[in-house]
Structure 1
């Protein structure tokens, strides 16, 4: 469908042409009498019908869009997706060539977009490879659908859903495990809101695959990319560019190794990233964004500095006292000293809270850094804390030695 602007431009062009003296519109060129009808409109209609059937869980309607050989796969797909609360689902063909006359099979690339009820502001997008077969009466039906990049959770197995008061948990685990994760989400959401407010709206979304390999497939990264990382936050691929994270993806292998308090800290840490997403910008240093997440997660935990920062404590006791706040690269998965980087970041934010006016000052600094723009970290520090970054770093170095020595 033409946009209103495009229609007006076309109309204006038509008026200009008609105003030219002697202008005569060329008659439309007739199509060859034996030219086949284009296939693309039929495929678009077929995929629209398929999307409606998936949203409605209508097995009969879904089967009508597929070849008989694909029937078993469609039954399994409906079982896998039945637990997913879909607000929207649809296909959009992204790459397609009209088949030659007489062709009985064709391949197209498409985008599968879906949005979850009550949690998603933007759709998640998955790339698909679709294969169609032509029937004896000339209709085209879907034969196979394969993901070609990041997958949807239901591509990996039957999805179960657990609703909490403040969160939604989708996963491939048993209900007891999902219920435990939902309880942590319900605890995390109000704890984070006490510090950062609840401006985001909607419920917290957590996804739990069955294995670390599936965790990686959901992000379309090598299996060892986030090895040992218990959870990450993601922005859905259909969100505008640079939209910060809005969902928590849990790595089941690393998560299982955590103590109960470790699990609580991880979920609250990631929930903080979701809550601060509007204030987190590309220029926000990772020591600050990871530090506020850890500080919020450990707030009121009763843990001492030695317990929160055991790796950094060991370094300090052997005389290795850091002299600079950690660079962004120190937080990369698998980076040497990543544990110390997180502990340094927590201690920096804890110093701001204790010395500069409580959690309200930490929140104000974080938002000021995001609002200031690239290269304005010094200005934000001086405005909110009354000191520059270099002076703060010197104070922080002394605090590391004092707290952990």
Structure 2
């Protein structure tokens, strides 16, 4: 049984160089690690980040060890010698807390937020959770205008073994900030909410950490008193603890910082009003010229099958760029929502411009411009209908086409569900765009080249890459302009991408993802491949180079190379499935979602622009694909290319 403590005096994003699987136990012989607890599966650091004072606790198992004197060898740490000479009846683990309600009414003061008091009201220990009721109180002598990016989600608990817990649920009053809703925080007003943590597994005392407030000791015992934590409450340390750097004496905010704080408060007020469904308060945050359009968007969202609508302000005190004293541009926020009965989360990164010198507004900051990736229903009048396995969002002028779209969508779903049994969600969301311009805006792809797009947004953290948003668009204008196009095939193609999206990474080669979709829809452009094979020859396309493309069509305005890339990939998927079977091909496809974080991190770009990210993902695709091919099919990439192109020559018309 081992514990690793973060005693550095600072939070750590992650730790590398301490490979759990390389641990050894040296005694009469050297025993390799045979098993470890799931808590150490991703390393010695806890998930998400390792907070100062937190611990990672687990077990290491060395099968077959004999004797009583041992030395534990663990990468990155000094050897630890120990002797098994004091048997105990049971492990000295801290017992879990007892269910009950424990009242405190303890108050703590912030070292940064002047006269904003944190009050710990009570803790309730239930079978599967710890519910902590807290209040933030304005003890200033007057009403104040207050803005902070800190929310209830920033709270952390440490249990008796210093394992760290974050709230899984935060009551709405603390979900957007610690201040009450509205522009003014009244004198003596308390903002109270409940933070729901997982039930601690060890100890009858927990420690509460909240930014800028002291660490607080909370006994989970009847009639016990909360108190500031002392060194005796902290985890063991073999070296003297670092002395925290004294916080500087607070200085008045600069004009720029004050302007940013005031402008951010406006956006936070808009977010709170949107979450509460308060139309008047929401519109009050916008300049008069924007209010009519925003009223339409607000009302439209209320009529559509949209749930969990949220607007979250971007992190960081530097969010937004001042333009003089009275304008703030590029204030970032994230609009997210779900669709009734459907699983995926939809999110749109937005950017706001605010001004405060608007005539007749008494110097108030107001939103004057909204940009970024607007959601489909913000572009104009929107209708939605539930048809079989789809919610279909469309423009009212497309109503006459809806019966045909519904039939095609159900036929497409049946086809994909039969080919990929058990993978499709029971309810999917499809958007039908009306114009080429909105299709290009929503997808970032050319309306002249693409009939549909299924897109995903990703978040990178210690667990790897996770999908934060999915969307599925059909280019309605393209099918009106050319009725000969096969819309049902396009719906099936994009639905295949959606069904496989949970296993599709930003570094999955496009020949894998597009090849899969084209095989499922049996979309093989024989003429394109035959012309290339006969006129240019297989030597003009290398699979290793194609592997660096994680999407097709970028920068290819003539679309000739894009057509070949798609057709080549379709036949390559056909070859792999006919040669090795669909089950093995799908295992190969899924394996791209199982790449260690250390491998991913090694290819991440330093800059966050889309071009750098795309290039880094292409490099990562080239790095991991040869091993994936070898593991799945037992051949290297060059052999696969040679065998495939020989097979392809036999399939094409002579």
TM-score range, shorter chain: 0.7 to 0.9
Look up the SS of the partner of 1:362 in the other structure: helix
Q: Alpha carbons of 1:8 and 1:89: their partners in 2 closer, same or farther (altered >3 Å)?
A: closer
Q: 2:642 aligns with which of 373, 381, 394?
A: 394
Partners of 1:273 and 1:315 in 2: CA distance: 27
Give the Cα–Cα distance (whole angstroms) in 2 for the partners of residues 262 and 61 of structure 1: 47
Q: What is the CA-CA distance between 1:341 and the residue it aligns to?
A: 1.6
Mind listing any 5+ residue stretches in structure 2 that lack a counterpart? Answer: 1-149, 157-207, 216-227, 232-245, 597-619
Alignment match, 1:11: 214
2:567 is equivalent to residue 343 of structure 1: yes
Q: Deviations over 1:36-66 (max 9, x none)?
A: xx67777666545544655676654544445
Equivalent residue number for residue 169 of structure 1: 392
- Change in CA separation of 1:321 and 1:239 when aligned onto 2, cut-off 3 Å: same
> Structure 2-normalised TM-score?
0.49
Structure 1 Cα separation of the partners of residues 426 and 274 of structure 2: 24
User: Does structure 1 retain, via aligned residues, the 8 Å contact 2:332–2:349?
Assistant: no
From the superposition, tell whether residues 385 and 191 of structure 1 become closer, same or farther in structure 2 (CA, over 3 Å): same
Asked if 1:95 is matched to 2:320, the reply is yes
Determine the structure 1 residue equivalent to 2:530. Answer: 313
Cα distance per residue 1:221-274 (max 9 Å; x no partner): 5xx845321122222478979545721123333344565772222221222222
Find the partner of 2:440 among 213, 216, 226.
216
Q: Is the 8 A contact 1:309 1:340 kept in 2?
A: no
Alignment of 1:34-53 (within 5 A): 47-48=267-268, 50-51=270-271
Aligned pair in 2 of structure 1 residues 177, 53: CA closer, same or farther (>3 Å)? farther
Structure-1 separation of matches of 2:266 and 2:281: 11
The whole-number CA distance in structure 1 between the counterparts of 2:632 and 2:536 is 30
Change in Cα spacing, 1:195 to 1:41, as seen in structure 2 (3 Å) is: same
1:229 aligns with 2:450: yes
1:146-225 → structure 2 map (5 Å cutoff): 146-147=370-371, 149-172=372-395, 173-199=397-423, 201=425, 203-219=427-443, 221=444, 225=446
Provide the rounded CA distance (Å) in 2 between the counterparts of 1:376 and 1:60.
53
* Cα 1:393–1:237 shift into 2, 3 Å: closer
Judge conservation of contact 1:89–1:114 (CA < 8 Å) in 2: yes
Counterpart-to-counterpart distance in 2, 1:251 and 1:350: 27
Larger radius of gyration: 2
SS of alignment partner, residue 641 of structure 2:
helix
- Report the Cα offset of residue 372 of structure 1: 5.9
**Cα drift, residue 122 of structure 1:** 5.5
Structure 2 counterpart of 1:365: 588
1:252 maps to which residue?
476
1:206–1:249 Cα contact (<8 Å) kept: yes
Please report the RMSD computed on the Cα atoms of aligned residues, expressed in angstroms.
Answer: 4.3
Shifted more, 383-392 versus 133-142: the winner is 133-142
Give the corresponding residue for 1:22: none
TM-score, scaled relative to structure 1: 0.74
Contact 1:185 1:204 (8 Å CA) reproduced: no
**Which whole-Å CA distance do the structure 2 matches of 1:285 and 1:110 have between them?**
31
Is 2:519 aligned against 1:295?
Answer: yes
CA deviations on 1:78-108 (whole Å, 9 max, x unpaired) are: 45545542422225263276997xxxx6545
**C-alpha separation between the residues in 2 aligned to 1:136 and 1:320?**
69
CA distance in 2, matches of 1:31, 1:346: 63
Render the CA deviation track for 1:132-157: whole Å, top value 9, x for unaligned.
5678795836363321x333324421
Q: Partners of 1:168 and 1:251 in 2: how far apart?
A: 16
List gaps (5 residues or longer) in structure 1: 17-24
Q: Shift in Å at residue 347 of structure 1?
A: 0.9
CA distance in 2, matches of 1:59, 1:246: 28
Q: Is the 8 A contact 2:412 2:491 kept in 1?
A: yes
**Other-structure match for 1:113:** 335
Deviation string 1:326-346 (CA, Å, 9 cap, x unpaired) is 515592342532212211111
Counterparts of 2:390 and 2:369 in 1: how far apart (Å)?
A: 31
Residue 21 (structure 1) aligns with: none
Q: CA separation in 1, counterparts of 2:276 and 2:403?
A: 26
Q: Give the match for residue 538 of structure 2.
A: 322
The number of residue pairs the alignment matches comes to 377
CA gap of 1:258–1:313, structure 2 versus 1, over 3 A, is: farther
Give the distance between the partners of 1:260 and 1:165, measured in 2 at CA: 25
* Aligned-partner Cα distance in 2 for 1:48–1:111: 10
Higher relative contact order, chain-length normalized (CA < 8 Å, sep 6+): 1
Does residue 297 of structure 2 align to residue 77 of structure 1? yes
Whole-angstrom distance in 1 between the partners of 2:630 and 2:379: 50
Asked if structure 2 preserves the Cα contact closer than 8 Å seen for 1:115 and 1:124, the reply is no
Structure 1 or 2: larger strand share?
2
* 1:348-402 superposed Cα distances (whole Å, 9 cap, x missing partner): 1111222223x22221222235436753434433443343333332222122222
**Secondary structure at 1:401 match in 2:** helix
Asked whether the 8 Å contact 2:437–2:447 carries over to 1, the reply is no
Q: Which residue of 1 aligns with 2:633?
A: 385
Aligned to 2:508: 284
